[in-house]
Structure 1
Amino acid sequence: MSEVILERPAPEIAVIRINRPEARNALNQAVRLALAAHFTELGRDPAIRCIVLTGGDKVFAAGADLRDMADQGAIEIMQRHTHRLWRAIADCPKPVIAAVSGLAWGGGCELAMHADIIIAGEGASFCQPEVKVGVMPGAGGTQRLTRAVGKFKAMKMTLSGLPVPAWEADAMGLVSEVVPDAEVQSRALELAALLASRPPLALAQIKEVLIAGEDASLETALMLERKAFQLLFASRDQKEGMHAFLDKRDAQFRGE
Structure 2
Amino acid sequence: MPDEAPLVITERSSDGVLLVRLNRPERRNALSTPVLMALVAALNTATADPSVGAVVVTGNETVFAAGADIDELAQASSEDDVESPRFLAWQEIRGFTKPLLAAVEGWCLGAGCELAMCCDIIVAGKDARFGQPETNLAIMPGAGGTVTLPRRIGQQLAMLMVLTGAPITAQDARDCGLIALVTETGQALERALGLATTIAARAPVAIRAAKASIKLATALTEQAHLHREREIYLALLGSADKAEGIRAFKEKRAAVWTGR
TM-score in terms of structure 2 length: 0.95
Residue of structure 1 aligned with 2:216, choices 176, 198, 212: 212
Q: How does 1:156-171 map to 2 (within 5 A)?
A: 156-171=160-175
Q: Give the deviation of 1:11 after TM superposition.
A: 4.6
Asked whether the 8 Å contact 1:201–1:255 carries over to 2, the reply is yes
Equivalent runs, 1:1-256 vs 2, <5 Å: 1-76=5-80, 78=82, 80-256=84-260
Q: CA deviation at 1:6?
A: 1.2
Alpha-carbon distance, 1:32 to partner: 1.2
Query: In 2, distance between residues paired with 1:171 and 1:184?
Result: 17
Structure 1, unaligned runs of 5 or more: none
> Which secondary structure does the structure 2 equivalent of 1:69 belong to?
helix
Which structure is higher in helix share? 1
* Percent identity for Structure 1 against Structure 2: 39
Counterpart residue identity of residue 197, structure 1: A
What is the identity, as a one-letter code, of the residue corresponding to 1:92? Answer: F
How big is the shift at 1:215? 1.4
Kindly indicate whether the alpha-carbon contact (under 8 Å) linking 1:213 and 1:220 is maintained by their aligned counterparts in 2.
no
Residues 221 and 156 of structure 1, relative CA distance in 2, 3 Å threshold: same
Letter in 2 for 1:235: S
Give the Cα–Cα distance (whole angstroms) in 1 for the partners of residues 20 and 258 of structure 2. 24
- Between the two proteins, the alignment pairs up a number of residues equal to 256
Instruction: Return 126-135 or 237-246, whichever deviates more.
Output: 237-246
Would the alpha carbon gap of residues 211 and 197 (structure 1) be closer, same or farther in structure 2, given more than 3 Å must change? same
The separation in 1 between residues aligned to 2:223 and 2:177, in whole angstroms, is: 24
Q: Moved runs in structure 1, 4+ residues, more than 3 A?
A: 76-81
| Structure 2 residue identity aligned to 1:87 | Q
What is the alpha-carbon distance in structure 2 between the residues aligned to residue 165 and residue 8 of structure 1? Answer: 31
- Unaligned 5+ residue runs, structure 2? none
Q: CA deviation at 1:191?
A: 0.5
Would the aligned equivalents of 1:61 and 1:103 in 2 still touch at CA under 8 Å? yes
- Matched-pair contact (CA < 8 Å) for 2:15–2:201: no
- Corresponding residue SS for 2:187: helix
Which stretch of structure 1 is more off in the superposition, 139-148 or 213-222?
213-222
The alignment yields a C-alpha RMSD, in angstroms, of 1.2
